[in-house]
Amino acid sequence: MKTTKTILSRRRFNAVSILALAGASAGVGLSKPALAQALTPKSGGSLRIARTEEIDGFKLDGEFSDETNEVSQNVIAPLLRFDSSGLNVVPGLAESFVVAADGKSITFQLAQGARFNTGTPVTTDDVIFSVNQWKAGPNFGSMYVDIASVTKLSDTSFRFNLSSPNLSLPAFLTWSVAGVIPNNFAGMKADQFWLTPIGAGAFSVKSWEGTGNVHLVKNPYYYRPGLPYVDEILSTLPDANQRALQFQSGEVDIVSELGPIEARRYPKDKLIESEVHYTDVLLFNIQYPPLQDIRVRKAIAMAVDYKAIVDGLYRGLGIEPTGFLPPNVGMWEPPSKPYYRQNIAMAKALMKEAGITTMQLELLFPPNYSLVSQIVQQSLQAIGVDVKLNPTDSGTFVSDASAGKYQLAVWAYNAISPNIGDPLSWITSTSYFFTNYPLKDLQAAANELFVSRTPEEEKAAVIKIQDLGTDQLAFLALDHYKIGTAVQSNIHGVSSPPWANIYYDEIWIS
């Protein structure tokens, strides 16, 4: 693996910023109190964020994009949070949570004085109502079905009784889709509530549009004393050129979730880089006969020029695939054997063994995946596979991919919480990532992971899952790459996990 860090990593960025500030202070004669003042968080100001994705809205079960997850987490607070490394679950609206020794229940205590942005206290009844909402969702309901019941211990403490142990459940409780909302939608009709949501997060929604334009204002009843620092957050969804121009002119403070190609347009000293995590994938629709043959899929996997993607396209912001699951997330383990690498001779031999000399395939891909798709197209020429590129818009891609109307497709996926069960849940709840590959074996292995009780069991279960993903090859990981967050130098407190979602409550402006 070859990873040349051309951009500062998040930890290095923070350290260097502090050292630079200290150095600068020495140079210009700043006194120690002045330096301390410069580093002391202060309240007030407006934070302007330029986004790269639209906002899906605040209806919990309809929140898909990473940007939606980020905004919603800061408005409709979930019970738990993740730390900045993306490796650990930490308390959130629930100030403590204790998993029983047998793994079959989790007991929570709500944060002292926790209130919704209306000033109404958050109670166990609200949590019970919220859990029922989560479970009823057609998209994410399956993530929470293991919560068989909720026992009310007091107005502010409760116990989730699980139908079976679920190691990944605490991570799923950090998701925005598991936000806590008021009992009976605070007396509103559900549709109206989702348009004007009430939550216990750091901010309230003043106005929003599906385009990404969101205006948030400080929640005066936020459960973390003294936070949030900023008074309001204004976010927009400009195109890539406008994002760069607005950042250059100082009209926006943060540009969030920059892909590795776009990230290169930003000054290195203002870019916070996540760990490699996001994973480009090549999906094989196994309903299409030639792709039912594992030899053909393996031949394709051995024909792909991974180095061209990593070195030519991502240039230091990506690595060759290490397995089919995104790395740098809690409990991740590599497969027991090396993942696929380019080997044209072996790929040709596999095609010959499958009795195929030439073949035509159509490759479906949404916007922003054009260059990766072109590399795949060129790679497969070497084994006699003529790939016709079929670019489409995001909406059509989602419709066609989920309906199995494709042969090959390029897309990407990632976790949004600190547990490998997160991306795994995506795979298992989408007809094995839209490939229609039988889920039985993978689901069984995933269940082993969810009920594992020791680190050794967890490790073995993840390795087994990785091996299954490698052997079955329903889809192929093409690379793992980093996400960048561009931050002006007067903005502090921005930390981002591998999926680059930001908690807004600790951000301050100097």
Partner 1 sequence: MIPLLAGIILVVFLLAKVMPGDPARLAVGLRASPEQVAQARAAMGLDKPVIVQYFIYLGHILTGNFGYSYKSHMPVTTIIGAHVPITLWLLFFGMGFSLLISVPLGVLAALQRDRMIDHIIRAFCVLSLAMPMFWVGIMLITLIALPTHVFPVGGFGTDFFGHLRGIILPGLTLGIAMSPVMIRSLRATIIKEISSEYVNAAKSLGVSGSRLMIKFIFRNALSPVVTLLAYQLSYFLFGDVIVEMTFMLPGMGEGIIDATVQRDLPLVQGYTLIFALSVVLVYLLADIINSLLDPRIVIDS
Which residues sit at the interface with partner 1, rule CB under 8 A? Answer: 54, 56-57, 59, 61-62, 64, 138-140, 142, 191, 194-195, 208-211, 213, 234, 236-239, 241-242, 245-246, 248-251, 392-396, 398-400, 402-403, 429-430
Report, in Å, the least distance between residue 251 CB and partner 1.
5
**53 vs 467 by CB, closer to partner 1:** 53
CB of residue 482 to partner 1, shortest distance in Å: 25
Q: Characterize the bridge pairing of strands 408-413 and 359-365.
A: parallel
Bridge partners, 47 (sequence order): 233
- The tokens describing 426, both together, are 């995506």
Q: What's the min distance (Å) between Cβ of 439 and partner 1?
A: 13
CA–CA distance, 40 with 36 (Å, rounded to integer): 6
| Residue 1 or 403 having the CB closest to partner 1 | 403
Residue closer to partner 1 by CB (options 243, 297) is 243
What DSSP string runs through 460-500? HHHHHHHHHHHHH-SEEEEEEE--EEEE-TTEE-----TT-
Residue with smaller CB distance to partner 1, 109 or 139: 139
**Which residues fall within 8 angstroms of residue 234, CB to CB, at 6 or more apart?**
46, 47, 48, 49, 214, 215, 216
- Least distance from C-beta 53 to partner 1, angstroms? 11
Contact 486, 258 (CB under 8 A): yes
The Cα 193–Cα 208 span in angstroms is 13
CB of 387 to partner 1, least distance (A): 21
What whole-number distance in Å separates Cα of residue 418 and Cα of residue 328? 9
Complex with partner 1: residue 23 or 250, whichever CB lies closer: 250
User: DSSP string spanning 109-122?
Assistant: EEPTT-B-TTSPBP
How many C-beta atoms surround the C-beta of residue 103 within 10 A?
Answer: 17
Residue 227 or residue 446: which is nearer to partner 1 going by CB? 446
Q: Residue 270 or 464: which CB sits closer to partner 1? A: 270
Nearer to partner 1 among residue 82 and residue 208 (C-beta): 208
Token reading at 76: 């409709």
Q: How far is the CB of 112 from partner 1 (least distance, A)?
A: 35
Helix axes 455-472, 440-451, angle to 10 degrees: 170
Distance CA 83, CA 111 (A): 17
Q: How far is the CB of 116 from partner 1 (least distance, A)?
A: 21
217 by Cβ neighbours in 10 Å (0-12 / 13-18 / 19+) ranks as middle
Which residue lies nearer to partner 1 by CB, 248 or 336? Answer: 248
What's the closest the beta carbon of residue 25 comes to partner 1, in angstroms? 27
Shortest spacing between CB 494 and partner 1, in angstroms? 21
Token pair for 179: 């936000």
Count the alpha carbons within 13 Å of 290 in the hemisphere toward its beta carbon.
19
Distance CA 112, CA 127 (A): 15
> Least CB distance from residue 309 to partner 1, whole Å?
25
Nearest to partner 1 of 59, 492 (CB atom): 59
CA dist 348 and 353 (Å) reads 9
